[in-house]
Amino acid sequence: MKIIPKSVLLIIAMHCAGSALAQSAASHRAMPMPPMPMPPASNSAPIFSTDTTGLPAVLPTSEVILKDGDNFTLDASPAKQNVAGQWIRRLAYNGSVPGPIFRVKQGSSVHLTLKNDTEIETTLHSHGLRLDSHFDGVPGVGQKPIAPGESFTYDLTFPDAGIYWYHPHIREDYTQNAGLYGIFLVEPSDATTYNVVHKEVPLVLNDILIDMKQPFQKNVVTHTLMGRFGNVDLVNGMVLPTFNITVGEVIRFFVLNSSNARSYAFSIPGSQLKVVGGDNGLTEKEEWATKVILGPGERAIVEVSFAKAGAFSIVNAKPTNPTKLAKIVVSAGQVAALPIPFKILRQSTVATAEIAKVRRLFQKPVDKKLTLTLAMDMAGDSMGGMDMGNGSMDGMDMSGGSMGGMDMGSMNPAPSNNPGIEWEDDMGAMNSASTNKSVTWKMVDDSTAKENTDIQWSFKKGDYIKIRFFNDPKSMHPMQHPIHFHGQRFVVSSMDGKTPENLGWKDTVLIPSGSTYEIILEASNPGSWMSHCHISEHLEANMMLNFNVTE
C-alpha cells in the first residue's frame, strides 16, 4: 500500500538506501527527477547498549496473585535472552519477558512499586485501567520520570474485569520492544460472569527486529514512517512455544498484542474460535470467528476446544504469507464435563445492560472530529534538506495527497480482504531511515485545525462524547492507526457508516486507512489524560492529544 508519491519515494530512497533501493523505486511509475547525492554515512549516533556481558538470562514468566491492599515491587533491569539462536540484550520486569502475570479481583486496589535499574528514565502505564490519573504513568501528570536507580509507588485500582497490561510511557519504542511489558488478569467479582473452562492461558503476541545494523538510538527515534516491524515473532516471549491440551478441554485464551507496530490476525486453523470479549471485558454476546484482528494494544478473550487429537498451530493469518506463532499439541485423555457445553453461545446480560445506555446515543450529533494524517519535513534532517511538510516540492502541488493531477489514493489500493491494513514493513530502508525529526504523524481537530498536543479537550464526568475519526487515505503514507484513550472506556458506534452487530467496551481501536470510525467515549474518570496512536514510533512522532475530565 505504497501511497507516498512515487517521485518523493524515489528521492528519499536514493538518500536512504543507495543505488539498489533507488533502482527499485524507479521501477514504479515515478516522474523523472534529477539524481541526488547520498548523505555521508554516520556511525557516531549514540545508541542504547546491546552488550550482554555478565547479564543474567531471562527467567520464565511467573504468575502473581495480588489481594486487595497488597504491596509488590517490580524491578526493571537488563537481562539477556537467546532468541532465534542469538543472545540479545533485553529489559525485563523481575527478570522475565513478559513481566509477571498479575491476577487480581475486580474492585481491588494494590500498591505497585517500580524500581528502575535500567539506563533510561521510565514510568509504568497501566493500559486500560480506569485509575487515578496521578498513577497513569504519563510524565508530568502526577509524577516525574523515574530516573535510573530510583523508584515510584503506583496505587492501582481495578474497577473492570478483563485483560489489561502494563508498559513504560517514555521511549516506548525502545523500552517496550526491549521486553518491558506484562499483563493484568482482572477476575470478575461475580464468579458466574465467565464460562467455566478447564484452563486459562494468557497469550502475549509480540515481534522483535533482530538486526545489529538497526540499533535503537538514544537521541532520535527511527522507523517513524511505519513503525518498527520485527523479523521474529514471539508468544509469551518465546519463539514457537508449544501448548499441550487434552481432547475436549475448553481453553480460555487471554490474547494481547504488545508489539510496536504489527497487527495480528489471530487464528487457529482447524478450530473454531469462540470470541467472548475484548479490551475491557465481555462483549454483548459470544460469537464464532475464524480469526480476530488485533492492532497494537488491543486484546481479545477467546475460548477454544478440540474434538480430536493432533497438531495445530496458532497463526497470524494475514492475507499473504501467514506466519506460525505457536504450536498446540492435542492428546487423547479424560476431561471433566462442564456445566455449559462449548458449542453453546451465551449472551452477557451485564455487558448488554451497560451498553444499552450508550446505544441510545448512537444517532446523536458528532461532538469532535479528528483527521489522522502525516507530514514529512526533511529540512535540516539527513534526507537532503527536502521540505515536504507544507505539501509542496520544487513547485509541484502535493496538497490533498495529489501530485501532477494523479490521485495518490488510487495508485495502490489496499487488498480487499483486509482493506486499509499494512501487515508488513514494505518500505524497507526508507522506513528505517525515517525519524521523529523528519516525520510527524498528526491527529487534527477539524473544528479548530489544532494538531496533536495543541489539542486540549475538556469534558465533564458523566458526559458521553461522540468522536469521529477519519483516517485520510490521501496522506503521504496512509496506514492503520490503533487509537488509545487513557483512563476511560468507549464503544465503537460506527465503522464506515455501519453499526457493529456485537459491542463491547474498549480503550483501543484499530482504524484502517481510508476508514471513518465513530466512538462514544464515556467520560467516567476525572483527571488529566492523553489519547494517542499505539504504534510506538507514531506516538514518538507526536501523534497524541490531551483531554481533561472534571468532576
- DSSP line for 89-142: EEEEETTBSS--EEEEETT-EEEEEEEE-SSS-B--EEET----GGGS--TTSS
The pLDDT confidence band at residue 399, using thresholds 50, 70 and 90, is: very low
For 102-128, what is the mean pLDDT?
A: 98
Q: Residue 26, SS3?
A: helix
How many C-beta neighbours within 10 Å does residue 24 have? 15
Q: Which residues contact 438 (CB under 8 A, 6 or more apart)?
A: 224, 376, 377, 378, 381, 382, 383
Q: Residue 153 pLDDT more than 90?
A: yes
Residues 182 and 290 in one domain: no
543: cell is 501523534
**Arithmetic mean of pLDDT, 243-261:** 98
Q: Is residue 265 domain-shared with residue 142, that is, in the same domain?
A: no
* Dihedral angle computed from the Cα positions of residues 429, 433, 434 and 436, in that order, rounded to the nearest 10 degrees: 150
Q: Is residue 28 part of a domain?
A: no
Residue 142's pLDDT band (boundaries 50, 70, 90)? confident
Residue 525 and residue 401 share a domain: yes
Q: What is the pLDDT of residue 377?
A: 75
pTM: 0.87
Say if residue 171 is in the same domain as residue 276.
Answer: no
Question: Taking a C-beta distance cutoff of 8 angstroms, is the pair 304, 273 a contact?
Answer: yes
Residue 484 lies in a domain: yes
Q: Are residues 524 and 393 in the same domain?
A: yes
- For residue 415, name the pLDDT band (cuts at 50, 70, 90): very low
Question: Residue 386's pLDDT is what?
Answer: 33
On whether both 474 and 375 belong to a single domain, the answer is yes
pLDDT band at 419 (very low <50, low <70, confident <90, very high): confident
Segment 456-467, tens digit of pLDDT: 999 999 999 999
Assigned C-alpha cell, 414: 489496499
pLDDT of 378 higher than 90: no
Q: Is residue 29 part of a domain?
A: no
> Residues 283-295: pLDDT tens digits?
999 999 999 999 9
Q: Which of 113-127, 167-181, 206-220, 388-402 has the lowest mean pLDDT?
A: 388-402
Residues 431 and 382 placed together within one structural domain of the fold: yes
Asked whether residue 485 falls in the same domain as residue 521, the answer is yes
**Tens-place pLDDT, residues 272-281:** 999 999 999 9
On the question of pLDDT at 340 being above 80, the answer is yes
Same domain, 497 and 546: yes
**In-domain check, residue 31:** no
Residue 278: domain span: 199-347
CATH of residue 276's domain is 2.60.40.420
Which cell goes with 134? Answer: 496521578
Q: Which cell goes with 33? A: 527527477
Whether 294 maps to a domain, the answer reads yes
Residue 247 φ then ψ, to 5°: -55, 130
Across the chain, mean pLDDT equals: 87
In a domain, residue 48? The reply is no
* Residue 80 near residue 87 (C-beta atoms within 8 A): yes
Q: Provide the pLDDT confidence category of residue 447 given band limits of 50, 70 and 90.
A: very high
The per-residue pLDDT for range 28-73, each reduced to its tens digit, is 222 233 333 333 334 578 999 999 999 999 999 999 999 999 999 9
Number of domains in the chain: 3
For residue 332, being part of any structural domain is answered with yes
DSSP E strand stretches across 338-405: 368-377, 387-388, 392-393, 396-397, 402-403
Same domain, 145 and 215: no
Same domain, 401 and 526: yes
pLDDT for res 141:
81
